[in-house]
């Protein structure tokens, strides 16, 4: 994948840019609650909170932070506390605390707010939790009579490709709250419209669309700078592989957290790098090459220990299938090192009764296929009808 320079004049105007270009009329005279994270900036890299709070006609009353916190300071599944935002002297509420209840803003948090603004950069993958934080906020705003405004942003993986299965009814969670495929090909504004209508939230919703974004665009086609939306989403390359590599979170294999290439590096102390790379390359997966690579995480799984593994190199991103690649990777690890490979048994994203792999896969089918020795390619056959139905539903909510 070839990196591209960020243009001085981006081709795409973000929702926040469009709002400002309209003189902020949509928020004029409003008391605003603002859900943001580190990547919540305008195209000139000015934080959205600074942009809105500088408007004389808008009063920013409270900030809300999703998983990883308002500033993206916290690692995955770390509890974040509510604290004061000193520059404005307003509360900075955490929507990722000690329990599942913390995911939902309370009546007290929304007190005095008449418009709740969402400006979050998503990465186009079902497991990424920010879209579900948005959905919980939309539900709370419906209950307490608060208007919702979503400022749209690009799907960094583009809006054309869709991949993976739909989450099963009994496996809904904070990494899959709605019946979405793993790679959904929608912007966060389009998802808000779908959540609100097709999935029945029913809040008072306005989406401010972008200007200039087209569905074929990846993030580096937009001319916009990449800003990390979370601590381990370092680059577009990270986001490209995340849709499959995130499955490794559900095992005792390192997904590369604690290295400079999270989700691109996969391994464990008992893995032979050359064997893993050779076996994965022999699968002939489209658009990707696996290179043997040893690494030593500084934190997280296997911290301070030498891991054998691979680096995932995407050579042709339009052909690359991240989810297919991820399930094949699990298959090779499971069958190649059966005495060492283990499923994660600890609670995962506030869920203790179901295994992490089942939550991420949206059902028990992946784990059961591996445990029964079912060829993993057979699992793909179930995706077709589900994806066709999803495409039919999503068609009514596409803005671009």
Domain-terminating residue out of 228, 258, 282: 228
pLDDT digits (tens, 9 = 90+) for 159-176: 999 999 999 989 999 999
Together in a domain, 268 and 223: no
Q: What is the pLDDT of residue 72?
A: 62
CATH number, domain at 253? 3.90.1150.140
Q: What is the pLDDT of residue 181?
A: 97
User: Minimum mean pLDDT among 62-71, 97-106, 248-257, 354-363: which range?
Assistant: 62-71
**396 domain residue, yes or no:** no
Give residue 1's pLDDT band: very low, low, confident or very high (50, 70, 90): very low
84-93 LR contacts (CB < 8 Å, sep 24+): 85/49, 88/49, 88/53, 88/60, 90/60, 90/61, 90/62, 90/63, 91/62, 91/63, 92/62, 92/63, 92/64, 92/65, 93/62, 93/63, 93/64, 93/65
pLDDT digits (tens, 9 = 90+) for 295-321: 999 999 999 999 999 999 999 999 999
pLDDT at 8 over 60: no
Length of the chain: 400
Together in a domain, 253 and 194: no
Q: What is the pLDDT of residue 2?
A: 44
pLDDT mean across residues, the chain: 94
Q: What is the pLDDT of residue 3?
A: 47
Q: What is the pLDDT of residue 75?
A: 72
pLDDT digits (tens, 9 = 90+) for 348-384: 999 999 999 999 999 999 999 999 998 887 888 888 8
The domain in which residue 29 lies consists of 15-228
Transcribe 95-124 into DSSP letters: SS-SSGGGGS--HHHHTT-SEEEE-----S
Give residue 76's pLDDT band: very low, low, confident or very high (50, 70, 90): confident
Together in a domain, 188 and 146: yes
- What domain count does the chain have? 2
**65 domain residue, yes or no:** yes
pLDDT digits (tens, 9 = 90+) for 125-184: 999 999 999 999 999 999 999 999 999 999 999 999 999 999 998 999 999 999 999 999
Domain-terminating residue out of 228, 262, 283: 228
**125 domain residue, yes or no:** yes
pLDDT digits (tens, 9 = 90+) for 233-281: 999 999 999 999 999 999 999 999 999 999 999 999 999 999 999 999 9
Together in a domain, 194 and 304: no
**205 domain residue, yes or no:** yes
- State phi, psi for 70 to the nearest 5 degrees: -55, -40
Q: What is the pLDDT of residue 231?
A: 93
Domain-terminating residue out of 197, 228, 259: 228
**204 domain residue, yes or no:** yes
Q: What is the pLDDT of residue 230?
A: 95
Together in a domain, 41 and 68: yes
**C-alpha–C-alpha distance, residues 74 and 61, integer Å:** 24
**25 domain residue, yes or no:** yes
Model pTM?
A: 0.94
Together in a domain, 181 and 330: no
Share of the chain above pLDDT 70, in %: 97
**397 domain residue, yes or no:** no
CATH number, domain at 66? 3.40.50.12170
Q: Is the dihedral of CA 223, 225, 228, 234 positive or negative?
A: positive
236 contacts 23 by C-beta, under 8 angstroms: no
Together in a domain, 195 and 150: yes
29 contacts 60 by C-beta, under 8 angstroms: no
Q: What is the helix (H) or strand (E) element at residue 142, kind and residue range?
A: helix 130-144
Average pLDDT over residues 287-291: 98
**393 domain residue, yes or no:** no
**C-alpha–C-alpha distance, residues 260 and 257, integer Å:** 8
């Amino acid at each position: 994948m070839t990196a591209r320079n960020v243009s001085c004049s981006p081709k795409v105007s973000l929702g926040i840019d469009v709002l400002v270009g309209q003189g902020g009329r949509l928020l004029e005279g409003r008391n605003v609650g603002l859900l943001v994270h580190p990547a919540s900036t305008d195209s000139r890299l000015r934080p959205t909170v600074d942009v809105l709070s500088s408007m004389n006609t808008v009063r920013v009353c409270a900030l809300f932070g999703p998983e990883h916190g308002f500033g993206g300071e916290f690692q995955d599944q770390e509890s974040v506390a509510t604290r004061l935002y000193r520059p404005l002297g307003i509360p900075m509420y955490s929507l990722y605390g000690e329990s599942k209840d913390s995911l939902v803003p309370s009546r007290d948090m929304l007190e005095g707010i008449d418009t709740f603004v969402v400006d979050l950069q998503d990465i186009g993958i079902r497991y990424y939790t920010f879209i579900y934080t948005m959905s919980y906020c939309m539900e709370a705003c419906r209950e307490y009579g608060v208007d919702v405004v979503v400022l749209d942003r690009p799907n960094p993986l583009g809006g054309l490709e869709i991949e993976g299965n739909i989450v099963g009814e009994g496996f809904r969670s904070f990494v899959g709250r709605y019946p979405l495929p793993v790679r959904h090909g929608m912007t966060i504004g389009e998802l808000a419209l779908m959540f609100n209508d097709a999935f029945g939230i029913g809040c008072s919703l306005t989406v401010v669309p972008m200007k200039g974004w087209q569905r074929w665009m990846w993030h580096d086609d937009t001319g916009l700078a990449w800003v990390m939306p979370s601590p381990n989403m370092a680059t577009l390359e990270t986001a490209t592989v995340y849709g499959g590599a995130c499955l490794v979170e559900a095992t005792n294999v390192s997904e590369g957290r604690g290295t400079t290439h999270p989700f691109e590096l996969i391994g464990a102390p008992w893995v032979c790098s050359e064997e893993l790379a050779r076996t994965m390359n022999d699968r002939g997966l489209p658009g990707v090459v696996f290179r043997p690579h040893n690494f030593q995480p500084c934190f997280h799984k296997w911290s301070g220990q030498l891991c054998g593994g691979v680096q995932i190199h995407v050579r042709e991103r339009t052909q690359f299938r991240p989810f297919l690649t991820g399930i094949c990777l699990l298959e090779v690890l499971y069958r190649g090192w059966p005495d060492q490979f283990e499923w994660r048994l600890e609670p995962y994203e506030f869920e203790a009764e179901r295994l992490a792999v089942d939550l991420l896969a949206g059902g028990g089918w992946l784990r059961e296929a591996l445990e029964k020795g079912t060829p993993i390619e057979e699992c793909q056959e179930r995706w077709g009808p589900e994806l066709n139905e999803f495409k039919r539903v999503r068609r009514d909510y596409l803005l671009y």
